Structure 1
Amino acid sequence: MSKEIMAVVAGHEITRDEFNEFVQRMPQQQQAYASNPQFQGQILQQLIDMYLFQKKAEEDKLEETEEFKQVLESVKADLLSRMAMTKVIQAVTVSEEEKKAFYEENKAQFGQQATASAKHILTDTEEECLKAAAQIEAGEKTFEEAAKEYSTCPSKAQGGDLGTFGKGQMVKEFEDAVFNGELNKVLGPVKTQFGYHLIKVSDVTEAKTAAYEEVKDQVEGMALQKKQQEEFEAVATELANKYGVEKK
C-alpha cells in the first residue's frame, strides 16, 4: 500500500494507490502506457478534474435531480448484479476427478489431427499428366522440374510444394490419395474438380490424442468454465422461480 500523496483537490488527497486503481480500470491498451511520465501526468489531471467537477455538481445540487437518481439506481442495479454473478462464479471449483472426467468425455478436443507434407503437379488433361509422369519415371526430369514445366497450380514456383496440411483441407480424392498412398512415390493421375494431379508425399503424421498430463491446464480451464456456466444457469433458473419472470 502506497500512501504517497500525488495531489490534493478541495481537501481530498489523491494517493498513489488511488491513482493505480484508476489506471487498472482503464482499457488494457491504455494501461500499457502507465509507466510513461507524460501519460501519468494526463491521468492525474483526469483525476483532479473528476474531483473538481464533483464539487461543481454538489454546488449545483445535481444529486437532487431526477436524472441523477435514475442513473444512480441503474448503476446500483448493474453493480449489485455483477457482484452477485461474480460471487456465484468464483465459488465454483473443479476437482481432479471432474477434470479427468471432462477430459475423457471430450478427448476429441485435445487431439492432433493427421497431417501430410506433399508436392503435386496439376494439369488440365490426363494426357499431360501421364506425359509428366513418364518423364519423371524415365529420369528425364525430377518431380520438381516437371512441376515447373507442366503444373497449372501456383505451387509450381516451389516445385509443386504444398507444405504441410491436415485432413479436411484438400478435396476428398486428393486427400484419399495422400493419406493412403506410399511415401516418396509418384501417385496418380488423380482426378479432382480442378484437373489431374500427380502427387508425391514426403511425410504423414497420424492423428493422436494428447495425454491428460500434457493438456491438464487446458482441461482445467475448460472444465471450470463449463461448470461455472452450468452453475450460473442453475442459479438464474432458481431466482426466476423464486421471484417470477414474465416476458412480454
Structure 2
Amino acid sequence: MKKYLAGVALSALLAMPATAQEDVTAATVLATVNGTEITLGHVIAMVQMLPPQYQELPDNVLLDGLLEQLVQQEVLASVAEGDIGTRERLGLENERRAFLAAMLLDEVGMAPVSDEDLQAEYDAQYGSLGPITEYNASHILLETEEEAQAVIAELAEGADFAELAQERSIGPSGPNGGQLGWFTAGMMVPDFEAAVFALEVGEVSAPVQTQFGWHVVVLNDTREQEPPGLDQVRAELEDGLRRARVDAAIQELTAAATVERPEIQVDPSVIRNLDLLAD
C-alpha cells in the first residue's frame, strides 16, 4: 500500500464517475468488479486504516489511489476465493476476530478521559508526595576490592576524582569522569544506592560491591525536586487511565463470557505442523 500510494501521489490513476455532490452517501457506488460493488464507504473506511503520513496526502490522490487499490484487491480476491483452503479460511477467521476485538478496545480506550478522573489519578499518584531528593554522584568502577582501596588512598592524597575515573574506571561513565548525573531512589542497584544515600556532599565512599564490580563513589550534590504539576504528567496519566480501562473491559467481558476449555493434552510442537491444515 505504501509504495502504491507514493506513486499515486504523482498522478491520479482513476477518473471518478460523475455524481452530484449532494447525492453522495456511503452507499454511493464508485466501481463494480465482476458484479461486486465498491462504495464510497469502503474508501472512507480504508482511509481510517492508513498510517498518519499517508492520511496527509491530498484528498484527490487518496480517493483515486485507494479506489484503484480496492478494485485491484477485489479482482485478486475474487480469483483467490475460488481456491481457498483450510489454512486460508482459518486465517480469515483470525483476521476478522482480531479486527473486531481491536475495534471494540479502541472504542473503550479512546473514549474521553474526564477532568475528574484525571485529577483523581493525579491525586492518587502525586497528591501525597512531598519534595523528592535527587542525587548527583560520580563513581569509579574497578574489578577488585584491592584496586578500589588503592584508588581511595590516592584520593585521600589529593588525586583528582575525574582524572582517576578516566584512567582507571572500567565502566561506561569512565571517559566522562565517572559522572552519573542526577537520579532518585529506585534508579540504581540497591547496594550502590544505599552507599550514595549515606554520604555527605563531597564525601568518598568505602568500596561498594555490586554485580558490576567494585565502586568508589563520591556524592557531588543533592537537591529537592517538587512533584510534577498535573499539566506536566497529563499525557502520561491519560495513557495509564486508558490502559487500565482497556484491561478492565477485557477482564469484565471475559468473566461474563462462557469459556469452556476441554481437558485435552496437546503437544505444543503441533502448532508448527502445517500438514494439519492441508486439505
For this structure pair, what is the TM-score category when the shorter chain's length is used for normalisation? 0.5 to 0.7
Q: Please state if 1:103 is matched with 2:122.
A: yes
**Cα separation, 2, equivalents of 1:44 and 1:88:** 27
Amino acid across the alignment from 2:49? R
Q: Bigger radius of gyration, 1 or 2? A: 1
Where in structure 2 are the equivalents of 1:19-168 lying within 5 Å? 19=43, 21-26=45-50, 28=51, 31=54, 45-53=68-76, 74=93, 78=97, 82=101, 85=104, 89=108, 95-107=114-126, 115-123=134-142, 124=144, 125=146, 127-136=149-158, 141-168=159-186
Quote the offset at 1:207 in angstroms. Answer: 6.1
**Cα separation, 2, equivalents of 1:95 and 1:39:** 35
2:109/2:243 contact within 8 Å kept: no
Q: Please state if 1:191 is matched with 2:214.
A: no
2:199/2:205 contact within 8 Å kept: no
2:205/2:218 contact within 8 Å kept: no
Look up the SS of the partner of 2:205 in the other structure.
strand
Amino acid across the alignment from 1:104? D
Q: Please state if 1:5 is matched with 2:22.
A: no
Residue by residue, what CA displacement relative to the aligned partner does 1:200-238 show, whole Å, maximum 9, x if unpaired?
333334465333344344334433442454345435544
Residue by residue, what CA displacement relative to the aligned partner does 1:171-196 show, whole Å, maximum 9, x if unpaired?
4343223233222x141333324235
**Cα separation, 1, equivalents of 2:36 and 2:187:** 63
Amino acid across the alignment from 2:71? I
CA RMSD, aligned part only? 5.1
1:171/1:192 contact within 8 Å kept: no
**Cα separation, 2, equivalents of 1:122 and 1:130:** 12
| Aligned position for 1:247 | 261
Residue of structure 2 aligned with 1:172, choices 190, 209, 225? 190
**Cα separation, 2, equivalents of 1:148 and 1:75:** 57
**Cα separation, 1, equivalents of 2:95 and 2:149:** 77
Residue of structure 2 aligned with 1:215, choices 233, 248, 257? 233
| Aligned position for 2:275 | none
| TM-score (norm: length of structure 1) | 0.59
* Unaligned ranges ≥5, structure 1: none
Quote the offset at 1:5 in angstroms. Answer: 0.8
Aligned residue pairs total 225
**Cα separation, 1, equivalents of 2:137 and 2:73:** 63
* Unaligned ranges ≥5, structure 2: 1-14, 18-29, 263-279
Residue by residue, what CA displacement relative to the aligned partner does 1:77-117 show, whole Å, maximum 9, x if unpaired?
74996599469737966544433333333449x99975433
Identify which range, 8-17 or 112-121, moves more after superposition: 8-17
Identity of aligned residues (%): 22
In 2 relative to 1, CA 130–101 (structure 1 residues): closer, same or farther, beyond 3 Å? closer
